[in-house]
Chain A
Amino acid sequence: MASSSSSSKTGLKKMLTLKSSDGDEFELEESIVIQCQTIKHMVEDGFSLIPLQNVDTKTLTKIIEYMKKHAEKTESNKEEIKNFNKEFVKGSFDDQFELVSAANYLHINGLMDLLCQSIADRINNKSVRAVREIFNISNDYTPDEEEKVRDEHKWAHEGGEFDESLD
């Protein structure tokens, strides 16, 4: 859904328009958007309408939510931001695939950190099989290769205490 600009009465503040791959436009203050290195560079090059061909509307909406919140960051609301971050990564795991790709493309370092850490946390302590399931990865090893990789460190996984669950 396009959020047609709402707060352009701020007068002095410089506004920028981001356009998602679905063609929706979002108008935002420059001060919010420059958290994103890719856009910052485009702004420096004089762009004010910024087409983001790799980012769909759903993902962009999420990212804007993140940038807006983080633009409010001060010394005093650290706790609030922390909670926001916690909630932010709670969403559907499949959305995170799009989000992390977009954050990487847009070079939003803080968001990238947040997402990668939360994704890594999902891998932690999981068995190989559980990781494949969670991440929708099919095993593309040939049986021979798989055995080789397993044998490479046979000594290490004698414990077999990895978690098979998918949460």
Chain B
Amino acid sequence: MHNEREASSSSSIAPPPPLPSWADLPAEITANILLRLETIEILESAQRVCTSWWKVCHDPAMWRVVDLKYNIFSSIRDRVLEKICKIAVDRSQGQLLKISIVNFGSTDLLNYIAQSKYVDEAGIFYCCRVQNETLLMLCWEERKRRGTVKRDERRKSLVKQQREDCANQSFDSESESWRQSHALSSTILEEQLIAVRCTKLRYARIRGRAVPQGSIVHSLTLHFCKRLNPWLESVTS
């Protein structure tokens, strides 16, 4: 249905110039605007506005960074978020640089990301449900100077199941519990990193959510050395 604006300011002196239609904006500018929207917004709303926006929303360049978050207050269920995530991975067509998944995710989703032929050339975030309420994210960045990681190796590492028994703790406050979380996280990460044979891990980010219906999300980021062992080099908040 057309939503032409009527010349509502009817009897003024001169007819005002026609209002610009934002559909006529060059695609690169439209993309610059739309990529600031949340993934879900792009799928549910922006791409349905008009055909030129649809085209922009299907451009892989729009999908380099994917950021999805499950929020207990939102009506969007985590199952839906998983589907959205898969669409995002598909649309990126290999240009995905960073994917961040918070408070949802499953082995199935990880496998999907890992096995997608598109993600092979990208460094990706890796997220796992460690315990119902805690998520572990690892990120590694492919550095090609020393040769690439073998694809199989990386896939294996991604597909490797997460052990679920070591994160049954939450962090009380970001600052106070650093010591504790430090110890905690290195255990978790050790599992992970041994699975991850490659040496490309640059940093990991851990987010824990206080357990029963806690609405506080704590997060911290750990920096790792590039070697296999998960030595913690430095910490930033």
Chain A residues within CB distance 8 Å of chain B: 94, 97-98, 100-101, 104, 112, 116-117, 119-120, 123-129, 131-133, 135-141, 145-146, 149-150, 153, 155-157, 159, 161-162
A120 and B33 in contact (CB under 8 A), knowing A132-B49, A135-B22, A136-B21?
Answer: yes
**B29 and A101 within 8 A (CB):** yes
- Judged by a CB distance under 8 angstroms, whether B3 is at the interface is yes
Looking at the assembled complex, report how far the CB atom of B179 sits from the nearest CB atom of chain A, in whole angstroms.
34
In the complex, which of the residues B2, B41, B51 contacts A124, with contact meaning CB atoms closer than 8 Å? B41
Q: How many angstroms between the C-alpha atoms of A127 and B44 in the bound complex?
A: 9
Judging by beta carbons under 8 Å apart, are B44 and A157 in contact? Answer: yes
Nearest CB of A to B70, in Å? 14
A117 with B83: CB separation less than 8 A: no
> Number of B residues whose C-beta is below 8 Å from A?
40
| Among candidates B3, B20, B45, residue contacting A97 with C-beta atoms closer than 8 Å | B20
Bound: A126/B25 CA distance, A: 20
Q: Is the CB of A133 within 8 A of B3?
A: yes
For residue A128, which residues in chain B have a CB less than 8 angstroms away from its CB? 45, 48-49
For residue A104, give the distance in angstroms from its CB to the closest CB of chain B.
Answer: 5
Complex contacts, B23 vs chain A, CB 8 Å = 135, 137-138, 140
Q: Across the interface, do A138 and B3 meet the contact criterion of CB distance under 8 Å?
A: yes
A100 to chain B, nearest CB (A): 6
Question: Contacts of A157 on B, CB cut-off 8 Å?
Answer: 44
Kindly count the residue-residue contacts between A and B in the assembled complex, taking CB atoms under 8 Å apart.
109
CB < 8 Å: which of A120, A139, A153 contacts B1?
A: A139
Closest to A117 in B: B36
Known: A100-B29, A140-B51. A156 touches B44 (CB 8 A): yes
A97 / chain B contacts, CB cutoff of 8 Å: 20, 22, 25
| A150–B38 alpha-carbon span in the complex (Å) | 18
Q: Which residues of A contact B33 (CB under 8 A)?
A: 100, 116, 119-120, 123
9 chain-A/chain-B pairs, Cβ below 8 angstroms: A112-B32, A120-B33, A123-B37, A127-B45, A129-B3, A137-B23, A140-B50, A141-B50, A156-B43
Task: Please tell me if the beta carbons of A141 and B51 are within 8 angstroms of each other in the complex.
Answer: yes
List of A residues within 8 angstroms of B20 by Cβ: 94, 97-98, 136
Question: Does B232 touch A at the CB level, under 8 Å?
Answer: no
Cβ 8 A contact of A153, one of B4, B44, B49, B50: B44
Least CB distance, A101 to chain B, in whole angstroms: 7
Which residues of A lie under 8 Å from residue B49 when comparing CB positions?
128, 131-132, 135, 137, 139
Which 10 interchain pairs have the tightest Cβ spacing? A135-B22, A120-B36, A159-B75, A97-B20, A137-B23, A116-B33, A128-B48, A116-B32, A138-B2, A136-B19
**What chain A residues lie within 8 Å of B188 (beta carbons)?**
none
Decide yes or no whether B112 CB sits under 8 A from chain A. no
